[in-house]
């Protein structure tokens, strides 16, 4: 039984539509999959309509967060009620600010002679999706400036690059509170990959746990064996549920669907902590 709790579609920076993503997961033998597009629930209905057989869809989102000292953190919200307006308002604020943020990044690049227009980036953004750096990366590929998204990030777009600009985002603590208030469960995504420079300390995990955090994404491509071991110990100490997932982005990233998975026992426990049964079945 393969359970993959973190994937992206064309409603953010994945390259498969929600329908294609669900079909791909079913063909690949995934039993339970979460759709977690960046800062949006826009793909839920289409993905739900593609559910077949025994496949189960977990509605979710990966929420971009900024700590008070401006470090980027990703928080997975699963099984929350999308009718809970304060969470939707926070997501909308983030999505809206991604537009001026993109324009600022384009300006910084233009000042260095890398000429791209906002309109060109929009051509790479699927309709109704959350705008992100990967769409800028795709523009750089089309213009022949780089060969792949990966190269675009390595050379121009990484968090520590001089062209990087952040966007409005909730703090990780506020994101956890919003997800829980919406009846969902909160799992911190790849805690050691989004913060390579300054690793999260045990105190950060303690604070998040106090805010309502339910789990830690331990098994993820961006974590080495030692990091996974360290995170397992933290999870055990703080009574947090361990998850594993692919962070699949279609052809937008190397990650393959189901390459890391969550155990059925851990999933059952996590699912039981949501305030309602929101898994989508046929
Ligand atoms: P943004 O949300 O606009 O800040 O963009 C961040 C997203 O870019 C991440 O969530 C990843 O999905 C994607 N990303 C980061 N690094 C890479 C990479 N090397 N190749 C492809 N996509 C990446
Ligand atoms: Zn992404
Ligand atoms: Fe992420
Ligand atoms: Fe992701």
Which stretches of the chain drop beneath a pLDDT of 50?
none
Q: Whose CA is nearest to atom 16 of ligand 1?
A: 153
Domain-wise residue ranges, the chain: 3-95+167-272, 98-157
Q: What confidence tens digit (pLDDT) does each residue in 233-252 have?
A: 999 999 999 999 999 999 99
pLDDT at residue 180 in the model:
99
Provide the CATH number for the domain formed by 3-95+167-272 in this structure: 3.20.20.140
Task: Tell me which residue of 152, 187, 150, 165 sits closest to 66, measured CA to CA.
Answer: 165
CA dihedral for 160, 164, 166, 172, sign (positive or negative): negative
264: tokens are 């059925």
pLDDT at residue 258 in the model:
98
Q: What SS3 class is residue 3?
A: strand
pLDDT at residue 194 in the model:
59
Provide the CATH number for the domain formed by 98-157 in this structure: 1.10.150.650
117 Cα–ligand 2 center, Å: 22
pTM of the complete model: 0.97
CB-ligand 1 contact for 167 (6 Å cutoff):
no
Task: Tell me which residue of 24, 30, 25 sits closest to 3, measured CA to CA.
Answer: 30
Q: Give, for ligand 1, the residue of 63, 133, 158, 165 to mutate: max count of ligand atoms closer than 8 Å to Cβ.
A: 133
Q: Do domains 3-95+167-272 and 98-157 have the same CATH topology?
A: no
Q: What is the CB neighbour count within 10 angstroms for residue 236?
A: 10
Q: Whose CA is nearest to atom 19 of ligand 1?
A: 150
pLDDT at residue 7 in the model:
98
| Greatest CA separation for the chain | 53
Mean pLDDT of all residues belonging to the chain: 97
Compute, in degrees rounded to 10, the torsion defined by CA atoms 147, 153, 157, 160: -150
């Amino acid at each position: 039984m393969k359970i993959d709790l973190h994937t992206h579609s064309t409603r953010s920076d994945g390259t498969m539509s929600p329908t294609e993503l669900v079909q791909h997961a079913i063909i690949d033998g995934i039993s339970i999959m979460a759709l977690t597009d960046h800062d949006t629930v826009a793909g839920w209905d289409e993905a739900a309509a593609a559910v077949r057989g025994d496949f189960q869809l977990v509605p979710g989102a990966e929420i971009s967060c900024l700590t008070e000292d401006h470090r980027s953190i990703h928080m997975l919200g699963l099984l929350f009620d999308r009718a809970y307006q304060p969470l939707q308002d926070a997501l909308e604020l983030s999505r809206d600010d991604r537009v001026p943020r993109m324009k600022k990044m384009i300006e910084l690049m233009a000042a260095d002679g890398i000429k791209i227009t906002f309109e060109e980036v929009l051509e790479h953004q699927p309709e109704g999706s959350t705008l992100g750096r990967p769409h800028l990366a795709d523009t750089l590929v089309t213009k022949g400036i780089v060969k792949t998204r990966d190269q675009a990030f390595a050379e121009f777009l990484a968090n520590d690059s001089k062209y990087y600009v952040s966007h409005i985002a909730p703090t990780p603590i506020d994101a956890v509170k919003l997800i829980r208030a919406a009846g969902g469960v909160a799992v911190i995504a790849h805690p050691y990959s989004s913060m390579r420079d300054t690793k999260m300390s045990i105190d950060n995990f303690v604070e998040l746990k106090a805010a309502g955090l339910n789990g830690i994404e331990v098994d993820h491509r961006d974590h080495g064996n030692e990091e996974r071991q360290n995170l397992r110990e933290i999870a055990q100490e703080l009574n947090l549920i361990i998850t594993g997932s692919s962070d699949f982005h279609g052809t937008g990233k190397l990650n393959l669907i189901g390459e890391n998975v969550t155990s059925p026992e851990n999933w059952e426990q996590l699912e039981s902590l949501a305030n309602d049964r929101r898994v989508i079945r046929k």
